[in-house]
Amino acid sequence: MQHAAAQPASPGPRDLGEIGVEGEQQMMECGIGQQLSIQRMRPPRFDGADPMAKPGRNDPCPCGSGNKYKKCCQPKDEAAERDGLAAAQARREERAAEQRQRDHELHTEVAAWLRQAEEEDLLDDALEDASNAVIDLVKAGKLDEAEAASRALLARYPQAHDGWDRLGMVHEARGNSREAADCYRRVLDFLRDHPDYTDDDGLATLYTGLIAKLEPPAAT
C-alpha cells in the first residue's frame, strides 16, 4: 500500500470545497491523510448544541425539566455567574492590595537605605573634617592637641585608618620615628584586617615606604 503522505498530487485542499457529501464520503475512504486535510478545510458542523452557548430565555431549559429556561434554571445560572464575577473581582482586589503592600515595603526599605547612605556620608564628612583638623594642629605646632585629636579619631572611627595615620604624623612631628613607624604598622594591620576597606593598593605601599624611611636599616 502506498502511503498517503507520498501522494502530494492527490486532490489539493483548494478543490475540497467543491466536493459534495457523496464525494466527501469517497474522499474519507481514500486514506487518513486525506481525511485529515478535509477536516482542516471544513469548519466543524454544528447540530445546534454548543455546550458553551447560553440557552435563550424562552428556550426549553437544558436541565430537561420541560419548562422555559427563564422559568427554570436561568435565575440560578445568573446568580452563579454573578457570584463567579464577584469572586474574580475580589481576587483581583486582593492581588492589587498585596501588590500595594509590597510596593509600600519596598519604598520603606529604599527610604531606609537612602537615610543610611546619607548618615554614612555625614559620618565620612565629619571624619574628614576631624582628620584634617589634626593636620592643621600639627602645622600650628599644637602637638598635644593634635595627639588628643588623633586619639579621639581612633576612638570614634575604628572603621577608618585615619586615627593611626594622624597619630603617626604627630609622632613624626615630635621626631619620635619609632613611635611613628609603630603607628604606620598599625595602619598596615588595619588594611590587612579590612580587605574591603579600599581598592587603593597604593595605600599599603605608601605606609610600607613611610616605615622604611623612618626605620632605615642599621648601618653596619
Q: Which residues sit at the interface with Zn ion, rule CB under 5 A?
A: 61, 63, 65, 72-73
Which residue number, 56 or 209, has a Cβ lying nearer to Zn ion? 56
Least separation, in Å, of the C-beta of 72 and Zn ion? 3
Least separation in angstroms between residue 86's CB and Zn ion is 23
Closest to 163 measured CA to CA, from 209, 202, 127: 127
Kindly tell me which of 73 and 203 has the beta carbon lying closer to Zn ion.
Answer: 73
Q: Which is nearer to Zn ion, 31 or 60 (CB)?
A: 60
Measured CA to CA in angstroms, residue 77 lies from 55, 73, 80, 156 at distances of 11, 6, 5, 75
Choice between 8 and 64, CB closer to Zn ion: 64
Pinpoint the alpha helices (H) of 42-193.
Answer: 74-139, 143-156, 162-173, 177-193
Give the shortest CB-87-to-Zn ion separation in angstroms. Answer: 23
Q: How many helices (H) and strands (E) in the chain? A: 8, 0
What is the rounded end-to-end Cα distance, in angstroms, of the chain? 109
Min CB(47)–Zn ion separation in Å: 21
